Amino acid sequence: MTEQAAPPTELPLRPQDELQCRRCEVHCDKVVHPGACIERSCPFVYAYEAFGHTYMGCMQRVFDVEIDLDLLRASEHRRGGFGGVMARRAPLPMCRIEVSSCYEQRSDEIGCRNPEFFELPLASPSFRVFAHVDDRP
């Protein structure tokens, strides 16, 4: 008896909205860079003081950890910066995100089954002003 081929892996309607992909052995996750939240003066950053330290976080819960601001700033001055933390909710256009692939050496001959996962939201709005109408009399 011949072995039946495995059914094709199902893909979601919008793979761009997923936060992680495990459709092959590589394992990819979206990570967000908290250093960019400060740099971009995102209105969703919050901060509070506790135990003599200032901690920052994201009101939108794009990432759900709270980070010591002094450590973050010190790391941002070093090569590589603070780096990214796991995204827990769909990133917004102002977030700096990237895809982190864990085990690239496990890639097989088929390659990525879900290339749209790597399509990240644009950092700028998807519209542009092309004309100004002056309605003054």
For ligand SF4, the closer CB: 2 or 106: 106
Q: For residues 19 and 26, which CB has a smaller minimum distance to ligand SF4 in the complex?
A: 26
* Minimum distance from residue 135 beta carbon to ligand SF4 (Å): 35
- Of 47-55, 64-72, 74-82, 89-97: span binding ligand SF4 (CB under 6 A): 89-97
Subset of residues 115 to 134 that bind ligand SF4, contact rule: CB under 6 A: 117
Both tokens of residue 83? 């780096």
Q: Which helix (H) or strand (E) holds 69?
A: helix 69-76
Whether residue 48 contacts residue 68, with contact meaning beta carbons closer than 8 Å, is answered with no
Binding residues for ligand SF4 restricted to 29-88, rule: CB under 6 A:
32, 37, 42, 44-45, 58, 60, 62-63
Q: Is residue 5 a contact partner of residue 61, using CB atoms and an 8 Å limit?
A: no
Q: How far apart are CA 89 and CA 66, in angstroms?
A: 15
Instruction: Say whether residue 28 binds ligand SF4 (CB under 6 A).
Output: yes
List the beta bridge partners of residue 31: 86, 98
Strand order in the sheet with 45-50: 45-50, 53-58, 67-68
Residues that bind ligand SF4 (CB under 6 A): 21-24, 26-28, 32, 37, 42, 44-45, 58, 60, 62-63, 92, 94-95, 101, 112-114, 117
